[in-house]
Amino acid sequence: MPSQQKLATLNEQFAIEGQLQFNATDDLIVANITNQHATASIALQGAQVLSWVVKREDKRGAERGANEQQPLIWLSDEATFIAGKTIRGGIPVCWPWFGAHPDREDYPAHGFVRAAVWDVVETSTTAAGQTNVVFRLPQTQVPLALWSHNTELELHVSVGATLELNLITRNHGSETVTISQALHSYFAVSDIKDVTVKGLEGCQFIDALDDWQRKVEITPICIDAEIDRIYQNTKPVCSLEDKGWQRRINIETNNSRSTVVWNPWIEKSARLGDMGEDGYLNMLCIETGNIGDDRVSIAAGAEHCLSACYRIVKI
């Protein structure tokens, strides 16, 4: 259970009346947001977005009393909120390496920042009614044995009718630093068999399920089995079309050249153990990043900003 003192200090410094409040969820502190556009929740552990739900603007929906649209972000029914344990679902931040560490298999998958507790450094409201939160990874949460570079990491989250994330890496050291990274977003879907991913056609991908072979995507992607692919040199925009919920999620990115598409399906879900009963049927990860050939080198004194903006369009 987080200390009441820490919660009180956070709410004193950063709460926004009627819009943003910090609460405890089991071991973790979560920022709970509600504004004219949407509701959202973000755990300080990993600066991990856990939910984002846009409020309905269409009269018909409101008349039916459905003030909120279907969730955009998927969180496992069996997600745990235990200090230092990764949370299944939401938007984990993978940094400063994606997947297994290139040399050390004993290092944590997807880096160390998703299990670290980030600081809140700023909260604000925009004139358009969005809620902004800035998180920074404290140096005390950087295991120097795993990462000795003098870098600074921030995540800027903007919650409104769109959800915007900016992951900023600053290199305060005297040498170039190379990272791989991803915003490992779990999107909620009506039924995995009813969705199509568009915008990756023509891109080369690494198939993690077929001996990491390189292949080329020919068509929009439909999913009817386990999928784990790292698309390289991808375009700034792709989309997730969901016939069941009659919506398209536009994924607009900046400074991202890789896109990962992942669904564990049945067997891998069972091995993971925290996907929940048939959870794989209602989620699809489309991850915005820079991985493998697309990893990023940041010169001394320079910074890099990986951006993703999610927008819902009715279809």
Query: Of 120 and 306, which CB lies nearer to ligand TA6 in the complex structure?
Result: 306
Please select the residue that binds ligand TA6; options are 7, 146, 208, 281, rule is CB under 6 A.
208
Residue 86 makes contact with ligand TA6 by CB under 6 A: yes
**Residues 252-271 as x/- pattern, contact with ligand TA6 by CB under 6 A:** --------x-x---------
Name which position in 99, 129, 236, 292 contacts ligand TA6 (CB under 6 A): 99
Say whether 152 is catalytic.
no
Q: How far is the CB of 189 from ligand TA6 (least distance, A)?
A: 16
Residue 253 to residues 167, 193, 257, Cα–Cα distance (Å): 11, 25, 9
Task: Specify the residue, 37 or 88, whose C-beta has the smaller distance to ligand TA6.
Answer: 88
Instruction: Say whether 105 sits in a helix, a strand or coil.
Output: coil
Kindly state whether residue 110 participates in binding ligand TA6, applying the rule CB under 6 A: yes
Does residue 226 bind ligand TA6 (CB under 6 A)?
no
Q: At 158, which helix (H) or strand (E)?
A: strand 151-159
Size of the site for ligand TA6 (CB under 6 A): 12
Residues of this chain, 279-298, that bind ligand TA6 according to CB under 6 A: 285, 287
Q: How far is CA 80 from CA 86, 88, 132, 135, 273, in A?
A: 8, 7, 26, 21, 11
**Does residue number 228 form part of the binding site for ligand TA6 (CB under 6 A)?**
yes
Candidates 129, 121, 126; CA nearest to 36 is: 129
123 near ligand TA6 (CB under 6 A): no
- Helix-strand-coil percent breakdown of the chain, rounded to 5? 15, 45, 40
Q: Exactly one of 184, 217, 241, 304 is catalytic; name it.
A: 184
Which tokens is 95 given?
Answer: 């940094």
Catalytic residue list contains 101: no
Residue 37 touching ligand TA6 (CB under 6 A): no
- For 126-151, letters b (16+ CB in 10 Å) and e give eeeebbbbbbbbeeebbeeeebebeb
Residues that bind ligand TA6 (CB under 6 A): 86, 99, 109-110, 184, 208, 228, 260, 262, 272, 285, 287
Residues annotated as catalytic are 184, 287
